[in-house]
Amino acid sequence: MNTDIIGLVIIYALTILLAIPLGKYIAAVFSGTTKRSDIVFNPLDKLFYKLGGIDPRKEMNWKQHLTALLVINLFWFVLAMLVLTNMGRLPLNPDGNPSMTGDLAFNTAISFITNTNLQHYSGETGVSYLGQLTLMLWQFISAGCGIAIAAVVFIAMKERTTKALGNFYFLFVRSCTRVLFPLAVLMAVLLAFNGVPMTFDGKATQISLQGDTMQVSRGPVAAFVAIKQLGTNGGGFFGPNSAHPLENPNYFTNMIETIAILLIPIALIFTLGHILQRRKLAWTIFGVMSLGFFLLMVPTVMNESGGNPAIAKLGIAQPHGSMEGKEVRFGAAASAYWAISTTVTSNGSVNAMHDSLLPLSGMNALLAMMVNAFFGGVGVGFLNFYVFMILAVFISGLMVGRTPEFLGKKIEAKEMKIAMVIALLHPFLILVSAALASYLFAHNPTVYAGWLNNPGYHGFSEMLYEFTSASANNGSGFEGLGDNTPFWNISCGIVMLLARFLPIIGPVAIAGILANKKYIPESAGTLKTDTATFGLMVFAVIAIVAALSFFPALALGPIAEHFSMH
């Protein structure tokens, strides 16, 4: 086993070892039993409640939770628009970066409140320090919303018959102050001590190795990078994201940032097990998600580590693998591992250019976002998986001739209709949007000539990737696409909005409806949902409903490009 693979094994092992106790801690945060940390965080929580006029003890039903979520996100969207369109006139702008245009601000504001962080700008030149700090705040807020809404579903799954599902503001504030903030501070300190800037000074003058004088952008980078990774946000302080040496200086910082991508999404699975007191169910869910992750990650690592076949035909040795678009300080294997980690979640940060991945590696990154149910974003990743669990329970019940039941509640027509709409929404948004973009480009190639730097199959993949990333609330991109145009800014903004909030509304509605139903005690005829058999059934439903929906589009893009290389 070479050193690159050993490094990946260590990264994955550390992720699991940290996620298990973190999951237990998050369960205690939701239940209000974190006695030791209460001394530090209770005064901070009470300050937020007082400023917001909130009574954290007031119980909410599922509709009130969703109303609170949507209203506060609307407020944050308006505030973000005001800041981004007026940065040139506001303070904390030592480099004199300009304000954003209306369509770019629209895209960026939506991107950050939806936990997508799709960036049609380069951070060091396109945003002031005030703009960066505002966007960093949204990275806490959007992640906190995702964790809080997952907690609502956990509570609904736990209760036997109830309409009371906790208080959204209580869950949201505690997610931010007791989970995201402490982890982000710890990670930011580690990054700062390893060369990531943390300053409000403007550009620094540097002399390059060849003697040229350069102006190097910097800023409060360490704090920004910490929450972008932990909250599965992914938006970079600099244009190249974590491929930039000031965002990710060395292999140690790369390990920290890679672990942070999957840490909270995996921890929340174990949180579910503690809240429901069903540890076996949590391990079943973890097993299914891990199977999907490995089926995407292992071939990608092998593919990128093996080199580019087109270069191999020229007789050129590639002992370090396919290194186009990758950083030497990380290598091909660690870059491939990151590429799948960042796409199975809604993180979207990159430490290599995905546009330079080999065709089948790019396909795996696309497929990870298309499935959008293996770990996923903080909180909402489980919500996507929850929909597939409902579908699997219903189909399994039909197969064996029993009334479908999930955790003591009957699955009926209303829940199935909601689940199917949410399951089909994702492919609908991606495929319809990609078809529209392809049609416009094909019929007006001179008008839209700036869109694509690559013709043919890869150009189609670039457009498909952009809408897939927007719909998966991921934010990474095949950056050969010229995306800072009114069409891409507005269309991707609309897709991000629909793909963020409808898949939250659906699962919360299902969980709330089920929580209000009469509890049916388990019997000998009850379908067990914490077994390997049920886990494989869920995986099959994901493969059939999600993955196969995209095969024709993948055949036109990365698969066709792969065969064209051979």
Q: Residue with structure tokens 């990151």?
A: 338
Residue 272 CB partners (closer than 8 Å, separation 6+): 154, 157, 278, 281, 282, 285, 382
Q: Which residues of the chain have pLDDT under 50?
A: none
CB 105 within 8 A of CB 85: yes
**From the CB of residue 555, how many other CB atoms can be counted at a distance below 10 Å?**
13
For the record, the structure tokens of 161 come out as 């018959």
**From the CB of residue 368, how many other CB atoms can be counted at a distance below 10 Å?**
29
Q: Which residues of 313-340 are buried (b: 16+ CB within 10 A; e: fewer)?
A: eeeeeeeebbbeebbeebbbbbbbbbbb
CA distance 120 to 488: 9
Q: What is the widest separation between alpha-carbon atoms in the chain?
A: 78
CB 19 within 8 A of CB 266: yes
Q: Kindly tell me the burial class for residue 23, based on how many C-beta atoms sit within 10 Å of its own C-beta (0-12, 13-18, 19 or more).
A: buried
CA distance 294 to 252: 23
Residues written for the chain: 566
For the record, the structure tokens of 89 come out as 């006139």
| DSSP type of residue 59 | -
CA distance 415 to 520: 17
CA distance 474 to 468: 8
**From the CB of residue 11, how many other CB atoms can be counted at a distance below 10 Å?**
20
Residue 171 CB partners (closer than 8 Å, separation 6+): 30, 147, 148, 151, 152
How many Å separate Cα 466 from the centre of its chain? 14
**pLDDT, position 521:** 82
Q: Which helix (H) or strand (E) holds 410?
A: strand 409-410
Q: Return the bridge partners of 452, or none.
A: 481
CA distance 170 to 148: 8
For the record, the structure tokens of 37 come out as 């940390």
For 52, half-sphere exposure in the C-beta direction (CA atoms, 13 angstrom radius) is: 16
**pLDDT, position 1:** 55
DSSP 194-217: TT-------PEEEE-TTS-EEEE-
Instruction: Please write the tens of the pLDDT for every residue from 279-327.
Output: 999 999 999 999 999 999 999 999 999 999 889 888 898 999 999 999 9
Q: Which helix (H) or strand (E) holds 303?
A: helix 279-305
The sign of the torsion formed by the CA atoms of 390, 396, 398, 400 equals: negative
CB 390 within 8 A of CB 506: no
Q: Return the bridge partners of 216, or none.
A: 204
CA distance 458 to 238: 25
CA distance 152 to 165: 6
**pLDDT, position 437:** 94
CA distance 481 to 116: 18
Of 337, 261, 246, nearest to 300 (Cα)? 337
| DSSP type of residue 544 | I
CA distances from residue 563 to 64, 78, 292, 310, 360 in whole angstroms, order as listed = 52, 47, 25, 11, 10
Torsion on CA atoms 144, 147, 153, 157, rounded to nearest 10: -140
Residue spans of beta strands (DSSP E) within 105-234? 204-207, 213-216
**pLDDT, position 34:** 67
CA distance 92 to 86: 12
CA distances from residue 131 to 65, 220, 229 in whole angstroms, order as listed = 29, 12, 19
Domain ranges of the chain: 3-277, 378-565
